Amino acid sequence: MNRVRLVIFNAALGPLDYRVPETMQVEPGSVVVAPLGPRQIIGIVWEPERLPATEVPDSKLRPLLGKLPVPPLKAELRRLIEWTADYYCAPLASVARMVLASGGALKGPATMTEYRLTDKQPDRMTPQREKALDALQGEQATMRELAELAGVSVGVLRGLVGQGVLEPVEVDCDRPYPRAHPAHDAPDLSDSQHEAAQRFITAMRKGGFAPFLLDGVTGSGKTEVYFEAIAEALTSDRQVLVLLPEIALTEAFLRRFENRFGSAPVVWHSSLKSTERRRAWRAIATPPAQGGAQVVVGARSALFLPYAALGLIVVDEAHEISFKQDEGVRYNARDVAVMRARFEKIPVVLASATPALESLQMAESGIYEKIDLASRFGGAQLPEIATIDLRETPPERGRWLAPPLVAEMTARLERGEQSLLFLNRRGYAPLTLCRHCGYRFQCPNCSAWLVEHRLSSRLACHHCGYETPPPPACPECGTEDCLVACGPGVERIADEVREVLPQARVALVTSDTLNSPEKAAEFVQLAEERLVDVIVGTQLVTKGFHFPELTLVGVVDADLGLEGGDLRAAERTYQQIAQVAGRAGRGSKPGEVLIQTRHPEASVIAALAAGDRDAFYTAETEARRHAGAPPFGRWAAIIVSSEDEAEARDAARAIGGSRPELPDVAVLGPAPAPMALLRGRYRYRLLINARRSAQVQTVIREWLGALDFPRGVRVGVDIDPYSF
């Protein structure tokens, strides 16, 4: 009797046992199809002793139905799945699922059928067909994806295939990617770059887990350093994973990579087409020596792919908060990257100009090896940073740019240099109200104001995506044309620049305007060719870009991020401003940074202006130590939500009522979460502050495991939360 235990892709059920038919060979890691009730489910064969036991007798076991044609997941990856589930208090199934990256991508053969439009017209036009023809110009994807894209049913598209309006295209998902060449266009490294690269290379040759913190100021050439390590991996047929915080940055990175290695890497993120996804997945599971993927550049989800021969992980801009996933399995990709390297016994490089306090602490305690690049490459100087006290030199009424900043921008324009204005707020204005009755436009699904977007003439919720055209009259008092914008967003700042510098060519850079790789590439080209004088942008402009003629950075409102009770507000403000400041003076001309603030004395702002990073980190370290906050203590959150407000509150109270009484674990709440209503769900939250030594996950698991909740209630655990 051959009995196996599976981790199945159903978070509500634990592991299940099955019988292996005599004709089938499986081993731990095999990906199989199993019956579940009347349906089929995908599962991964696991070592039974590592999972809770099941009680079904041998005679009652149902047989496995089949095996997917992919290599078994390696033990290193299975250990990572277990660690992630354990550490983040998530179901094993939910983590395993991320590995198969929506399992559908795996079933079936390596060839898939996509469809595209031909020149033929349908014999009879219907509104649905017209909609499809409009939407699908230039598109090629699977039937299901096209239907979603066009907003029509698959049936409509089938009809068009029948008439030859859409034609099938066979896509081979096993065609290899172009090869990267280690020495294609290698630059001469500076001495300090060479020394840094050598340490990575030595660690790779030696083998074994080796975590590094590559701490180098903006423009110091960190990328070139880890490219050198990538070259070593290419030479020895090992794979490299480079994690980037933002898809918008990928385009510039890909071009740079291609210049250096002669071909683009494999890209992985959540908006790949299913054929691209399958092709990437299969290439990643194949060793480079057999034509598999060499270098993968991806968003955080790329961490959970089944690399056949991983040799190095790089987390670029490792301090970025977008590495933290806040839904589903709430993990921090930076930390999981280090664990993956540990299981794979390979080096991992966290690169940043403004490392997280946690990372610096790890370096201080000797767990990470810290490598410094103290100066900019090629003798470029770090920019001068000064503050503009908005209380002393306020902008004119209804404006947001203070006279000293405008004067500097004018000077740049006259000299033919570029300026960049940073404000981390999308849209035109963060709040819209009725001038007559003061009614504030609010999202129906979230506790958030609707943000006016003038470019798309919409009021939008930045949390759930709800959108509505601005109403002609106030819904409360009926006054017509009554809407007033309160406060600035980047669209409004761009308008102001056009008013005060009418000759300037302005580029607006936000996720609304740079919403595709093509648009991102277009912007980079315009800016590089100096066809842009002033760039106005959100956090999208703070990193990655390298424009040598950019000599002035203006921070429109440095106080914005310091508002609210966010634990990491100071650190985040410091990082954002230091990063955006790093865009100035990267070429031969020196850069200048002007920070508009009402609190120039605040320790973050003062440290930035003094160019004294250590002063900031020292002050922040003390504050965290005092508060028992990370890295000295632990935070965790339990988030309870339901569409029914009372149900959510009752469940949160039940959790609060059974809180454990432990000396090293303090529980705060429950209280309404900061986003008390999000996507139509009411949210309550409990915060846990524990000593570093406390087994906080075990405490939470036992605590929640003893409770039962109504069906409509979701209880999520957030270990090391970022925003609360």
Q: How far is the CB of 466 from Zn ion (least distance, A)?
A: 4
Distance from C-alpha of 546 to C-alpha of 528, rounded to nearest angstrom? 8
Q: How far is the CB of 484 from Zn ion (least distance, A)?
A: 21
User: Interface with ligand ADP by CB under 6 A: which residues?
Assistant: 187-190, 193, 216, 218-224, 377, 546
Tokens 């914008």 belong to residue: 485
Q: Does residue 482 have a known ligand-binding role?
A: no
Q: Which does 218 bind (CB under 5 to 8 A by kind): Zn ion, ligand ADP, none?
A: ligand ADP
Q: Which does 445 bind (CB under 5 to 8 A by kind): Zn ion, ligand ADP, none?
A: Zn ion
Q: How far is the CB of 469 from Zn ion (least distance, A)?
A: 16
Q: Does residue 437 have a known ligand-binding role?
A: yes
Q: How far is the CB of 609 from Zn ion (least distance, A)?
A: 37
The two structure tokens encoding residue 75 = 């033990």
The two structure tokens encoding residue 303 = 């961490």
- Cβ(553)–Cβ(576) below 8 Å: no
Q: Does residue 434 have a known ligand-binding role?
A: yes
Cβ nearer to ligand ADP, comparing 241 with 506: 241
Q: How far is the CB of 177 from ligand ADP (least distance, A)?
A: 24
**Which of 502, 623, 627 shows the shortest CA–CA distance to 571?**
623
**Which of 74, 371, 409 shows the shortest CA–CA distance to 215?**
371
Q: Which does 443 bind (CB under 5 to 8 A by kind): Zn ion, ligand ADP, none?
A: Zn ion
Cβ nearer to ligand ADP, comparing 224 with 533: 224
Cβ nearer to Zn ion, comparing 337 with 443: 443
The two structure tokens encoding residue 131 = 């909609």
**Going along 108-195, which residue ranges are E strands?**
111-117, 166-172
Q: How far is the CB of 90 from ligand ADP (least distance, A)?
A: 33
Cβ nearer to ligand ADP, comparing 18 with 226: 226
Rounded to 10°, the helix 92-100/75-87 angle is 130
Size of the site for Zn ion (CB under 5 A): 7
Cβ nearer to ligand ADP, comparing 104 with 187: 187
**Which of 677, 657, 667 shows the shortest CA–CA distance to 637?**
667
Distance from C-alpha of 28 to C-alpha of 4, rounded to nearest angstrom? 9
Span 461-490, contacts to Zn ion by CB under 5 A: 461, 463-464, 466
Rounded to 10°, the helix 613-627/357-364 angle is 90
Q: How far is the CB of 556 from ligand ADP (least distance, A)?
A: 23
Cβ nearer to ligand ADP, comparing 193 with 576: 193
Distance from C-alpha of 404 to C-alpha of 22, rounded to nearest angstrom? 80
Give Rg (Cα) of the chain: 27
The two structure tokens encoding residue 477 = 């008092």
Burial of residue 57, with CB atoms counted within 10 A of its CB: 0-12 exposed, 13-18 middle, 19 or more buried: exposed
Coil, strand or helix: which one is 579?
helix
Q: How far is the CB of 335 from ligand ADP (least distance, A)?
A: 22
Q: Which does 248 bind (CB under 5 to 8 A by kind): ligand ADP, Zn ion, none?
A: none
Distance from C-alpha of 405 to C-alpha of 552, rounded to nearest angstrom? 9
Q: Which does 355 bind (CB under 5 to 8 A by kind): Zn ion, ligand ADP, none?
A: none
Q: Which does 219 bind (CB under 5 to 8 A by kind): ligand ADP, Zn ion, none?
A: ligand ADP
Determine if 447 is a binding residue for Zn ion (CB under 5 A).
no
DSSP secondary structure letters along 331-357: -BHHHHHHHHHHHHT-EEEEEESS--H
Cβ nearer to ligand ADP, comparing 128 with 375: 375
Distance from C-alpha of 220 to C-alpha of 611, rounded to nearest angstrom? 16
Q: Does residue 173 have a known ligand-binding role?
A: no
Q: How far is the CB of 450 from Zn ion (least distance, A)?
A: 8
Cβ nearer to ligand ADP, comparing 377 with 703: 377
Span 386-445, contacts to Zn ion by CB under 5 A: 443, 445
Distance from C-alpha of 171 to C-alpha of 115, rounded to nearest angstrom? 10
Q: How far is the CB of 236 from ligand ADP (least distance, A)?
A: 22
Distance from C-alpha of 55 to C-alpha of 99, rounded to nearest angstrom? 28
Q: Which does 22 bind (CB under 5 to 8 A by kind): Zn ion, ligand ADP, none?
A: none
Q: Which of 7, 446, 593, 638 binds Zn ion (CB under 5 A)?
A: 446
Cβ nearer to ligand ADP, comparing 159 with 216: 216
Determine if 460 is a binding residue for Zn ion (CB under 5 A).
no
Q: How far is the CB of 696 from ligand ADP (least distance, A)?
A: 35
For residue 205, how many C-alpha atoms fall within 13 Å in the half-sphere facing its CB?
10
Distance from C-alpha of 358 to C-alpha of 635, rounded to nearest angstrom? 13
Q: Which does 221 bind (CB under 5 to 8 A by kind): Zn ion, ligand ADP, none?
A: ligand ADP
Q: Which does 461 bind (CB under 5 to 8 A by kind): Zn ion, ligand ADP, none?
A: Zn ion
Cβ nearer to ligand ADP, comparing 221 with 716: 221
Q: Which does 223 bind (CB under 5 to 8 A by kind): Zn ion, ligand ADP, none?
A: ligand ADP
Q: What are phi and psi of 346, to 5 degrees?
A: -140, 165
**Going along 277-395, which residue ranges are E strands?**
295-298, 310-316, 347-352, 369-373, 384-389
Q: Does residue 474 have a known ligand-binding role?
A: yes
Cβ nearer to Zn ion, comparing 336 with 446: 446
The answer for residues whose C-beta is within 8 angstroms of residue 197's C-beta and 6 or more apart is 189, 225, 226, 228, 229
CA 168 to chain centre: 34
Contacts with Zn ion by CB under 5 A lie at 443, 445-446, 461, 463-464, 466
Annotated binding site for Zn(2+): 434, 437, 443, 446, 461, 464, 474, 477
Annotated binding site: 434, 437, 443, 446, 461, 464, 474, 477
